[in-house]
């Protein structure tokens, strides 16, 4: 998916081609007038090929013992040149029942996952992201003309402009690599004392080691740099439990009660090093640096333990009324002794109405063939990360190598409590004519005592203060419908549809602060604001006449040069929270053939597109050449003079207009706020199962082939070729900020499955 771009004008400024020594690569040059234009995104990126192989075995090793093993290998040669990802996954699991009367049950599961990535792309406007260099190229220049001689290390970057960086050079000289080895081991042993009491113990460990480095070679305006890191993590869990289960314990009442004890321990040890001052060029070594302060410039050792006791009880009456309750208490090592203990319960109930009516008086219905009501309330707790209680100093070194102590940027408070998330849900599962299933639910989630970093005045010596406060509420309804619209012996048409309506509100921050920054850049900010949805977007607007009594109310106020102006203040421009989500899947089956397609969508929410702003600035956005032309025009606006307004009569060029709109880093924010509503054909799948009759004399027992296309078609969007799902970072709160993100892609998957 690519932004809407003009292809009528080429390299230059003010309608004139640049000189050979100019460092400007914008597309405000002369009209191409039939000259060839190039799709450089298509020319630079290639079709990525990904192959995945899975082999699994399952067999019985004897009476009561089975073994399952599987191995999976993924090789992904990206559409990005010189970028590759590999993953190997091996898993073995053995189950066994043994002993007198088979009272012992055991399971052992071992899993090893190895991933290796070369040259993951980076986003944003930094030098590490070479996508903007391709996207913002003039359309009359072919990026492939700059490939030769740029795909080796330690070569000089050759580009359109003297100081520009060739994207091919970046792909082969701005490198990164990471390798992660992960081991998971789980063991389970259960003993059945009698027909109603059992006990079990579980142990598990999750361990990984991650090594990464990044290196930038000489040959461009980027500094010859090196970074490397080593990270190790483990989490161990030990759980013991007793379970008592009895049906018809008292009359028709029965139930299950389980009590548990758990010990969890996790630890992360890591070392990070980076420098941009290599003494000997292109010798990527920790010792090859003149920057003494950067050697071993960040070391972490996070250690955390949580001990827990919890219980679960389920009561049922005659198989149609069920009540579940849980209670859990954690003791976390990351909180002070007085606050270390925190408790959180849950309770849920469900009533199968149709079963109840049938058992009480034999009532059945051919219309409402199944009906269940349910309700649930739950609280979950979460403690601090390690070492966020007390204010300490961190040890460092100045450029001369002298030891120095400095404050951390966050002011900690030892009296903080664990944060709590409270959820409430009611719903109904209904089935009509034994054919149409309907699931309806209402939910409300409330987060309290949230652990957040609240900004402080830098003159205090700190940038943030860790507080236990805040309140966020999310509520909405969800509806899921499933039915076979048509069903005969050889043909079935099934429809599955879902719809959810969402509402998000910030209830409280700390009692005094009403607006809390989540993320942002330059004049675009994303906030949690009391009384508003989560992710309020603030930025500048076009300066307009705001007096409703003025005959010019709503008109732009331009300068004497006829160009638009931005407000001095930031204003609320929308929020990133969707109002509703929906999707429906149609599945068709005819004999051994199957076909399905999924259409889904998002309604509401806003986002800011930095890509559009960048395209407008360089004259590549389709809006910069309406109808393929760049005629001068006069804005329907007013000029503020002598305390009043006069009509604007100043003629301006497209280049001048868009230069004013995109002035600074991100321009006038209002211009590039877009509705995130979109509808897309998400997935299409076709499959064929070969008849088993053809395998009667073969070792092969089954075979299936399938073809899948993902991200097939953007049916509706107002974002001018920018995918609203392109966000600045997955782990960012600013999901409404699109910042020169790589375009989303369509993928095709062909698979063969064989069974022996």
204-221 pLDDT, tens digit per residue, is 999 999 999 999 999 998
Whether residue 730 has pLDDT greater than 50: no
CA distance 17 to 29: 5
pLDDT class for 19, splitting at 50, 70, 90?
confident
Mean pLDDT (the chain, rounded):
92
CA distance 305 to 57: 38
Helix, strand or coil, per DSSP, at residue 418: coil
Token pair of 482 as six digits: 């499933």
Token pair of 612 as six digits: 């559009």
Per the model's pLDDT, the better-predicted residue between 518 and 753 turns out to be 753
Whether residue 746 has pLDDT greater than 80: yes
How many CB atoms neighbour CB 421 within 10 A?
A: 17
Closest Cα to residue 457, out of 409, 498, 503?
A: 409
39-51 pLDDT, tens digit per residue, is 999 999 999 999 9
pTM: 0.89
Percent of the chain as helix, strand, coil, to the nearest 5: 10, 55, 35
Q: What mean pLDDT do residues 562-581 have?
A: 94
Asked if 155 and 166 count as a contact pair (C-beta separation under 8 A), the reply is: no
CA distance 22 to 620: 19
CA distance 492 to 705: 19
pLDDT class for 729, splitting at 50, 70, 90?
very low
Whether residue 295 has pLDDT greater than 60: no
How many CB atoms neighbour CB 187 within 10 A?
A: 14
Q: What mean pLDDT do residues 685-702 have?
A: 88
Cα dist. 15→20, 29, 36, 651 in Å? 16, 4, 18, 16
Q: What is the reported pLDDT for 694?
A: 86
Percent of the chain at pLDDT exceeding 70: 98
Whether residue 728 has pLDDT greater than 60: no
Whether residue 442 has pLDDT greater than 50: yes
Max mean pLDDT range (103-112, 249-258, 361-370, 737-746) = 103-112
Lowest mean per-residue pLDDT among 276-285, 465-474, 576-585, 660-669: 465-474
CA distance 190 to 212: 41
Helix, strand or coil, per DSSP, at residue 11: coil
pLDDT class for 732, splitting at 50, 70, 90?
low
Q: What is the reported pLDDT for 296?
A: 52
Q: What is the reported pLDDT for 127?
A: 74
Torsion 506-510-513-518 (CA) sign: negative
Q: What is the reported pLDDT for 733?
A: 64
Q: What mean pLDDT do residues 642-651 have?
A: 92
Closest Cα to residue 8, out of 627, 646, 651, 545?
A: 627
pLDDT class for 734, splitting at 50, 70, 90?
low
The burial class, CB within 10 Å (0-12 / 13-18 / 19+), for 253 is middle
Q: What is the CA radius of gyration of the chain?
A: 31
Percent of the chain at pLDDT exceeding 90: 73
Q: What mean pLDDT do residues 680-691 have?
A: 96
Q: Give me the DSSP letters along 150-177.
A: -SSSS-----SSTT---HHHHHHHEEEE
508-562 pLDDT, tens digit per residue, is 888 778 888 888 888 899 998 999 998 899 999 999 999 999 999 999 999 999 9
Closest Cα to residue 431, out of 524, 368, 495?
A: 368
Q: Which long-range contacts (CB under 8 A, 24 or more apart) does 404-412 make?
A: 407/461, 407/462, 409/462, 409/463, 409/464, 410/453, 410/462, 410/463, 410/464, 410/465, 410/466, 411/456, 411/460, 411/462, 411/464, 411/465, 411/466, 412/388, 412/466
Q: What is the reported pLDDT for 405?
A: 84
Token pair of 183 as six digits: 């081991």
pLDDT class for 388, splitting at 50, 70, 90?
very high
Phi, psi angles (nearest 5°) of residue 610: -75, -25
The burial class, CB within 10 Å (0-12 / 13-18 / 19+), for 88 is middle
Asked if 6 and 37 count as a contact pair (C-beta separation under 8 A), the reply is: no
pLDDT class for 493, splitting at 50, 70, 90?
very high
Closest Cα to residue 726, out of 709, 713, 707, 739?
A: 739
pLDDT class for 674, splitting at 50, 70, 90?
very high
Whether residue 581 has pLDDT greater than 80: yes
Lowest mean per-residue pLDDT among 165-179, 342-356, 396-410: 396-410
Cα dist. 495→432, 436, 439, 484, 595 in Å? 15, 10, 14, 6, 12
Side-chain half-sphere exposure of 493, counting CA atoms within 13 A: 2
Closest Cα to residue 172, out of 159, 153, 148, 147?
A: 153
Q: Which long-range contacts (CB under 8 A, 24 or more apart) does 123-127 make?
A: 123/728, 123/729, 123/739, 123/740, 123/741, 123/742, 124/728, 124/739, 124/740, 125/610, 125/665, 125/739, 125/740, 127/165, 127/174, 127/222
Token pair of 496 as six digits: 């599955």
Whether residue 260 has pLDDT greater than 60: yes
CA distance 505 to 529: 8
Q: What is the reported pLDDT for 286?
A: 86
Q: What mean pLDDT do residues 127-152 have?
A: 91
pLDDT class for 407, splitting at 50, 70, 90?
confident
CA distance 152 to 175: 12
pLDDT class for 408, splitting at 50, 70, 90?
confident
Alpha carbon dihedral 630, 633, 637, 640, in 10-degree steps, equals 110
52-80 pLDDT, tens digit per residue, is 999 999 999 888 899 999 999 999 999 99
Whether residue 712 has pLDDT greater than 50: yes
Helix, strand or coil, per DSSP, at residue 137: coil
CA distance 234 to 286: 26
CA distance 178 to 435: 51
Asked if 206 and 164 count as a contact pair (C-beta separation under 8 A), the reply is: no
The burial class, CB within 10 Å (0-12 / 13-18 / 19+), for 78 is buried
Whether residue 373 has pLDDT greater than 50: yes
């Amino acid at each position: 998916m690519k932004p809407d771009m003009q292809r009528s004008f080429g390299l230059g400024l003010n309608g004139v081609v640049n000189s050979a020594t100019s460092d400007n690569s914008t597309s405000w040059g002369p009209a191409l007038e039939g000259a060839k234009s190039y799709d450089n995104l298509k020319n630079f990126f290639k079709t990525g090929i990904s192959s995945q192989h899975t082999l699994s075995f399952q067999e019985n090793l004897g009476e009561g013992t089975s073994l399952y093993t599987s191995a999976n290998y993924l090789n992904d040669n990206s559409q990005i040149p010189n970028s590759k990802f590999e993953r190997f996954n091996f898993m073995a699991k053995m189950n066994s029942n043994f002993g007198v009367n088979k009272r012992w049950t055991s399971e052992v599961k071992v899993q090893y996952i190895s991933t290796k990535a070369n040259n993951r792309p980076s986003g944003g406007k930094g030098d590490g992201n070479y996508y903007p260099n391709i996207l913002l190229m003039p359309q009359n220049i072919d990026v492939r003309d700059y490939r030769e001689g740029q795909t080796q290390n330690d070569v000089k970057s050759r580009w359109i402009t003297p100081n520009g960086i060739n994207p091919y050079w970046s792909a082969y000289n701005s490198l990164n690599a990471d390798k992660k080895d992960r081991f998971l081991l789980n063991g389970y042993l259960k003993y059945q004392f009698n027909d109603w009491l059992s006990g079990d113990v579980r142990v598990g460990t999750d361990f990984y080691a991650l090594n990464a480095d990044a290196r930038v070679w000489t040959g461009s305006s980027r500094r010859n740099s090196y970074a490397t890191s080593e990270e190790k993590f483990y989490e161990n869990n030990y759980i013991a439990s007793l379970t008592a289960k009895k049906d018809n314990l008292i009359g028709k009442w029965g139930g299950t009660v389980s009590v548990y004890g758990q010990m969890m321990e996790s630890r992360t040890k890591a070392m990070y090093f980076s420098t941009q001052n290599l003494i000997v060029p292109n010798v990527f070594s920790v010792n090859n640096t003149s920057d003494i302060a950067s050697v071993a410039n960040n070391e972490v050792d996070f250690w955390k333990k949580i001990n827990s006791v919890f219980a679960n009880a389920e009561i049922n009456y005659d198989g149609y009324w069920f009540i579940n309750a849980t209670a859990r208490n954690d003791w976390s090592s990351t909180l002070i002794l007085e606050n270390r203990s925190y408790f959180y319960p849950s309770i849920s109930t469900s009533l199968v109405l149709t079963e109840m009516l049938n058992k009480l008086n034999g009532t059945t219905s051919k219309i409402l063939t199944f009906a269940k009501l349910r309700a649930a309330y739950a609280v979950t707790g979460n403690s601090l990360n390690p070492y966020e209680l007390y204010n300490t100093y961190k040890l460092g070194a100045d450029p001369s190598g002298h030891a120095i102590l400095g404050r951390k940027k966050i002011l900690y408070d030892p009296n903080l409590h664990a944060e709590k998330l409270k959820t409430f849900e009611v719903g109904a599962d209904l089935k009509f004519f034994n054919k149409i299933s309907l699931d309806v639910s209402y939910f409300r989630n409330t987060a309290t005592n949230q652990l957040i970093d609240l900004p402080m005045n830098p003159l205090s010596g700190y940038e943030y203060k860790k507080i236990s406060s805040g309140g966020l509420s999310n509520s909405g309804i969800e509806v899921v419908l499933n039915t076979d619209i048509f069903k005969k012996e050889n043909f079935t048409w099934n429809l599955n549809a879902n719809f959810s309506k969402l509402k998000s509100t910030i209830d409280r921050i700390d009692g005094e602060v009403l607006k809390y920054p989540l993320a942002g850049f330059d004049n675009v900010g994303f906030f949690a604001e009391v009384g508003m949805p989560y992710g309020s977007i603030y930025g500048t607007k076009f300066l307009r006449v705001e007096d409703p009594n003025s005959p010019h109310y709503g008109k732009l106020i331009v300068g004497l040069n006829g160009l638009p102006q931005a407000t001095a203040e930031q204003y609320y421009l929308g929020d990133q929270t969707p109002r509703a989500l929906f999707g429906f899947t149609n599945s068709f089956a005819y004999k051994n053939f199957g076909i399905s397609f999924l259409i889904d969508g998002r309604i509401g929410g806003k986002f800011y597109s930095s890509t559009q702003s960048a395209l407008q600035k360089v004259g590549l956005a389709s809006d910069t050449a309406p109808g393929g032309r760049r005629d001068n025009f006069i804005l329907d606006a007013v000029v503020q003079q002598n305390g009043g307004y006069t009509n604007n009569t100043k003629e301006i060029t497209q280049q001048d207009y868009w230069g004013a709109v995109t002035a600074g880093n991100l321009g006038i924010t209002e211009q590039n706020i877009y509705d995130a509503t979109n509808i897309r054909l998400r997935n299409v799948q076709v499959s064929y199962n070969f008849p088993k009759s053809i395998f009667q004399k073969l070792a092969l027992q089954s075979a299936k082939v399938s073809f899948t296309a993902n991200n097939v078609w953007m049916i509706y969007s107002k974002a001018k070729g920018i995918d609203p799902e392109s966000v600045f970072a997955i782990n960012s709160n600013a999901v409404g900020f699109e910042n020169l993100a790589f375009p989303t892609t369509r993928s095709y998957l062909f698979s063969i499955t064989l069974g022996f």
